[in-house]
Structure 1
Amino acid sequence: MPLLFIGIAPDTKTADSPTVWVDREKRELVLQGWEPTPEVQAECAAFEAPGHAVGVPDGEAVIRIPARMIHMIREACDVLERTHDR
């Protein structure tokens, strides 16, 4: 099943396009965002959560999403909740 497009960050230029999709089949959010600064990447890589390895595991990524997209992320969560209720 193709991804369901939810939205793209308002007021973006053609090359600046954080985006939100939903994968209803896998019940996952799919987010496109900006690469964080090296400082943020270093902070995330050093973060320790109890019971987890330090750092960002292979196959995972840290991205930045602008706050102006919160409503899109909420909408995407609502889509997944409705999909779950079926």
Structure 2
Amino acid sequence: MALLFIAKDPNTNGTQCPTAWVDDEAQEIVVQGWKAGDALLTQCLESGSIPDSEAVVRLPIRMVPAIREACDVADRLGVR
């Protein structure tokens, strides 16, 4: 199956907005979010380094239901 679309941010225009997917082959939850600004990155770096292969993204709290659904879908698919 690979990438399964879960939801887009319900309060945006439907394009270029935070989105959640489940990738059952890679066994990952995939998110699209807003890029973190310098101030947020600085705060995140207080907890440790961020490798070049990773990124900090922001999601609005209203995406919590979509992230929960992604987790539930991953559970049903047996993604571990």
Q: What's the TM-score, normalizing by structure 2?
A: 0.87
Where does the alignment leave 5 or more consecutive residues of structure 1 unmatched?
Answer: 48-53
Q: Which residue of 1 aligns with 2:23?
A: 23
Quote the residue 1:40 is aligned against.
40
**Which runs of structure 1 show a deviation greater than 3 angstroms over 4 or more consecutive aligned residues?**
none
3-state SS, counterpart of residue 21 of structure 1: strand
Per the TM alignment, residue 27 of structure 1 is displaced from its structure 2 partner at its CA by: 1.6
Of structures 1 and 2, the larger Rg is shown by 1
Q: Give the number of the structure whose residues are more often strand, by fraction.
A: 2
- Cα drift, residue 34 of structure 1: 0.3
Cα drift, residue 24 of structure 1 = 1.0
TM-score by length of 1: 0.82
Report how many residues are paired. Answer: 79
Give 1:65's aligned residue: 59
- 1:30-72: CA deviations, max 9, x gaps? 000001121001111232xxxxxx3101201100011101001
| Structure 2, unaligned runs of 5 or more | none
Give the match for residue 69 of structure 2.
75
Percent identity between matched residues is 46
| CA deviation after TM superposition for structure 1 residue 16, in Å | 4.3
Aligned partners of 1:18 and 1:46: how far apart in 2? 25
Q: Root-mean-square deviation (CA), in Å? A: 1.7
